[in-house]
C-alpha cells in the first residue's frame, strides 16, 4: 500500500502543539484522550503510514511532563462490558493498560471509577486495584447531567466527586472504550482545581474526524462507518464558523454538548476559553497527510470492510439494520460499491466454480490468490498455504505439508477432541507447516514469507469461525466475509 501519512512529522507537530496548550493555562492541562492508545489499527488503515503505536510514542515524548489517569464506568464493570477488538472485559483492560503503560516507562497515577451508584462489582474492583497498590477515586452520577448546570457545578455535583491527586502538568485521561466518563472526569477536576486556586485547562485529543479536511472526505466518512453503532455524524462546526468564518469538521456529540460545556466553563472560570468545539481539540493529523489519493483509496476500502462487518453482525445478532443502512449511505456518498474491493468478486467466483466455501487474497503486488475447501483443509487454510507458496516461488503442485501428516491431526480433532469438522483451520495448518519446516527446506521457505502477508486483503464466501477470524487478525490481514454461514444450523 502506498504511504499517505508522514508519521514522523505527526509526532513532532503533535507533541509541540500539546506543550503549547499546557503553557496557556497554569501549567496544568487535563487532556481527554479519545480512541485507542495502543494498536490504533483503524487510523493505520485509513492513513497508510500512521503507525498503530503513534499515540504511545507521542506520550513517551511527553513522558517527563505526563501522568495517566484511567477512567472506567461502574456500569460497564457491572455488566461485564467487553472490548470487541480484544475480547476482554473493560475492567481486565484497565489492568492491561496499566501494565502496558508501565512497561513503556509511563507513569499511571490512578484509576477513576465513574457513574458510581454503589455497584457491588465496582466495589470489588476498587478493592482489587487497591490491593495491587493502585490509587482509586470515585465519581458519582449527577442528577440532571449534563443540563442542570447549577447542580453540576456545585459542591453537590462535581464537588461530591473525589479530587484526583496529580503531580504533573499534563494529565492524560483515557479509558478502555467510549462512554466511560472521560470528559466529565476532566471537568470535575477543573472545578476542584479552581477551588484550590489553580486555573487548569482542558483539551480534547481525538484523531477523527479530522477537522481540517473536507466533511465528505473518505477519511472522515470511514470514521462515521466505524462509529455507525454509536450513530455519530460528522458535521460542520457552526460555532467555529460563526467565530472565525472558517469551515471545520467536528461530530454531532461535541457540537451538541458545546453550549453545556461553555456554561460549565463560565461557571468555573467566569469565561469560556474556547469559542468552538474545534478550539478544544489538539489534533494535527490533517497536517501530516502527504498523499491525499492514497488516504482516499485506503479509507474507501475501510468503509467497505465496515459494511461487511455490519452485515456479519446483523447475521449474528450483534448489529442492527440501522448500522447497515447508515454505512450503505456512506458508500453512496463515497461513490463506491463492494465491487471496488477486488477480492470480493474473486472469492465469490471461486465459490461458484467449486460449489463450496472459497476465499481470495490480494498480495502486495496486486495479484489475486484463491483457496478452496477440500477434504483436508478449509478454504482459509488452503488460501494461506497457496499465498505463502506464491510468495516463496513454489510451484502449486508441490506439497509443503504432506497429506499423510495432516491425517493424524484430523484424527486427533475428530476422534479425541470431539470436533465435527475434520478440516484444518488456519492456526492448525500454520502449526503443521512449522513442524514440516523442521525437516523440509521448502516448507521453511514458505514459512519465512508470513511477514509479507501483513496488510493483505482477504474475502471469504462464508462467515468464518472465531478461530480463523482471530488468526487473520494476528497476521494483520484485513478480512471481510459474506454474511452467511457455511451450514444452516441454529447454533454456530
Write out the DSSP string of 97-108: HHHHHHHTT--E
Kindly report, residue by residue over 383-400, the tens digit of the pLDDT: 999 999 999 999 999 999
Triad 302, 304, 307: Cα angle to 5°: 110
Residue whose cell numbers read 460555532: 239
Distances (CA, A) of 179 to 81, 175, 213, 242, 258: 11, 9, 26, 29, 17
Question: How far apart, in whole angstroms, are the C-alpha atoms of residue 439 and residue 416?
Answer: 27
At residue 417, the pLDDT reads 86
Going by pLDDT thresholds of 50, 70 and 90, the confidence category of residue 285 is very high
| Average pLDDT value for residue range 356-366 | 96
Torsion of CA 267, 273, 279, 285, to 10 degrees: -110
pLDDT attached to residue 17: 92
Q: Residue 229: which pLDDT band, with cuts at 50, 70 and 90?
A: confident
List, as one string, the DSSP characters of 299-347: HHHHHHHHHHHHHHHHHHTSS-HHHHHHHHHHHHHHT--GGGSHHHHHH
As beta bridge partners, residue 249 has 236
Q: Which of 53, 331, 43, 360 is nearest to 206 (CA)?
A: 43
Tell me what the mean pLDDT of segment 317-327 comes to.
94
Helix (H, G, I), strand (E, B) or coil at 65: coil
Q: The cell 487535563 sits on which residue?
A: 30
- Residue 438's contacts (CB-CB under 8 Å, 6 or more residues apart) are none
Packing angle of the helix pair 252-269, 182-195 (nearest 10 deg): 10
Q: Residue 66: what are its φ and ψ, rounded to 5°?
A: -110, 145
Per DSSP, the three-state class of 490 is coil
Cβ neighbours around 70 below 10 Å, total: 25
CA proximity to 401, closest of 439, 373, 427, 451:
439
Q: What is the pLDDT of residue 282?
A: 93
- Class for the domain spanning 7-288: alpha beta
Say how far residue 210 (Cα) sits from the centre of its chain: 16
Cα(301)–Cα(295) distance, integer angstroms: 10
Sign of CA dihedral 53, 472, 295, 215: negative
List the chain domain ranges: 7-288, 342-481
Q: What is the predicted pLDDT for the residue at 489?
A: 65
Q: What is the pLDDT of residues 120-159, one digit of tens each?
A: 999 999 999 999 999 999 999 999 888 899 999 999 999 9
What is the CB-side half-sphere exposure of residue 282 using CA atoms within 13 A? Answer: 26
Q: Is the peptide bond before 146 cis (omega within 30 degrees of 0)?
A: yes
Sign of CA dihedral 163, 166, 170, 174: negative
pTM over 0.85: yes
CA–CA dist 368, 370 (Å, integer): 7
Rounded to a whole number, what is the largest CA-CA distance in the chain?
79
Res 492: pLDDT: 44
Q: How confident is the model at residue 85 (pLDDT cuts 50, 70, 90)?
A: low
* Residue 349 in this model has a pLDDT that exceeds 80: yes
What is the reported pLDDT for 151?
93
Angle between helix axes 292-316 and 321-334 (nearest 10 degrees) is 160
Would you state the pLDDT for residue 135?
98
Residues 437-457: pLDDT tens digits? 999 999 999 999 999 999 999
The residues facing 403 across adjacent strands are: none
| CA-based end-to-end distance of the chain | 35
Calculated CA dihedral for residues 483, 488, 489, 492, nearest 10 degrees: -30
The reply to whether domains 7-288 and 342-481 share a CATH topology is no
- The proportion of the chain whose per-residue pLDDT surpasses 90, expressed as a percent, equals 77
**Residue 36 has what pLDDT?**
74
Q: Is the pLDDT of residue 490 over 70?
A: no
Q: Give the chain's mean pLDDT.
A: 93
Residues 6 or more apart whose Cβ sits within 8 Å of residue 146: 152, 184, 257, 260
Residue 84 pLDDT level (bands cut at 50, 70, 90): low
Cα separation, 272 vs 291, whole angstroms: 37
Rounded CA-CA distance 365/5 in Å is: 21
Cell 481470495, residue?
A: 360
Mean pLDDT of 98-102: 93
- What CATH class has 342-481? alpha beta
Amino acid at each position: 500500500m502506498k504511504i499517505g501519512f508522514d508519521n514522523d512529522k505527526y509526532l513532532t507537530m503533535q507533541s509541540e502543539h500539546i506543550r503549547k496548550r499546557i503553557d496557556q493555562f497554569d501549567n496544568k492541562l487535563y487532556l481527554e484522550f479519545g480512541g485507542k492508545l495502543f494498536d490504533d489499527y483503524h487510523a493505520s488503515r485509513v492513513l497508510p503510514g500512521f503507525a498503530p503505536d503513534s499515540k504511545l510514542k507521542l506520550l513517551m515524548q511527553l513522558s517527563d511532563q505526563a501522568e495517566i489517569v484511567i477512567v472506567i464506568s461502574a456500569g460497564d464493570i457491572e455488566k461485564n462490558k467487553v472490548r470487541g477488538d480484544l475480547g476482554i472485559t473493560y475492567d481486565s483492560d484497565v489492568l492491561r493498560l496499566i501494565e502496558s503503560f508501565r512497561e513503556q516507562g509511563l507513569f499511571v497515577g490512578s484509576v477513576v471509577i465513574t457513574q458510581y451508584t454503589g455497584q457491588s462489582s465496582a466495589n470489588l474492583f476498587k478493592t482489587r486495584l487497591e490491593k495491587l497498590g493502585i490509587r482509586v477515586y470515585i465519581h458519582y452520577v449527577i442528577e440532571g447531567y449534563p443540563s442542570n448546570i447549577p447542580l453540576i457545578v456545585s459542591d453537590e455535583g462535581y464537588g461530591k466527586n473525589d479530587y484526583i491527586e496529580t503531580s504533573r502538568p499534563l494529565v492524560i485521561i483515557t479509558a478502555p472504550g467510549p462512554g466511560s466518563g472521560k470528559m466529565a472526569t476532566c471537568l470535575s477536576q477543573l472545578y476542584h482545581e479552581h477551588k484550590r486556586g489553580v486555573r487548569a485547562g482542558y483539551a480534547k485529543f481525538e484523531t477523527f474526524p479530522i477537522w481540517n479536511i473536507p466533511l465528505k472526505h473518505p477519511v472522515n466518512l470511514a470514521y462515521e462507518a466505524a462509529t455507525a453503532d454509536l450513530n455519530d455524524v460528522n458535521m460542520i462546526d457552526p460555532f467555529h464558523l460563526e467565530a472565525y468564518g472558517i469551515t471545520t469538521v467536528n461530530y454531532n456529540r461535541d457540537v451538541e454538548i458545546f453550549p453545556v460545556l461553555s456554561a460549565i466553563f463560565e461557571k468555573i472560570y467566569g469565561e469560556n476559553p474556547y469559542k468552538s468545539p474545534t478550539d478544544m481539540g489538539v489534533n494535527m493529523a490533517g497536517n501530516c497527510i502527504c498523499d491525499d489519493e492514497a488516504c482516499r483509496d485506503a479509507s474507501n476500502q475501510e468503509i467497505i470492510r465496515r459494511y461487511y462487518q455490519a452485515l456479519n453482525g446483523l447475521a449474528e445478532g450483534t448489529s442492527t439494520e440501522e448500522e447497515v443502512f447508515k454505512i450503505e449511505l456512506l458508500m453512496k456518498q463515497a461513490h463506491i460499491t463492494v465491487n471496488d474491493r477486488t477480492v470480493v468478486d474473486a472469492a465469490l467466483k471461486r465459490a461458484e466454480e467449486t460449489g463450496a466455501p472459497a476465499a481470495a487474497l490480494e498480495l502486495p503486488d496486486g495479484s489475486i490468490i484463491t483457496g478452496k475447501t477440500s477434504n483436508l483443509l478449509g478454504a482459509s487454510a488452503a488460501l494461506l498455504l497457496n499465498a505463502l507458496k506464491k510468495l516463496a516461488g513454489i510451484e502449486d503442485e508441490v506439497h509443503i505439508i504432506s497429506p499423510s501428516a495432516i491425517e493424524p491431526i484430523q484424527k486427533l480433532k475428530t476422534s479425541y477432541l470431539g470436533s465435527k469438522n475434520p478440516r484444518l483451520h488456519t492456526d492448525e495448518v500454520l502449526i503443521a507447516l512449522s513442524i514440516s519446516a523442521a525437516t523440509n527446506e521448502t516448507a521453511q521457505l514458505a514459512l519465512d514469507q508470513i511477514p509479507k502477508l501483513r496488510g493483505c486483503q482477504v474475502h471469504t464466501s462464508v462467515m468464518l469461525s472465531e478461530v480463523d477470524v482471530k488468526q487473520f487478525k494476528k497476521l494483520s490481514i484485513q478480512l471481510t466475509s459474506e454474511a452467511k454461514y457455511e451450514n444452516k444450523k441454529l447454533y454456530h
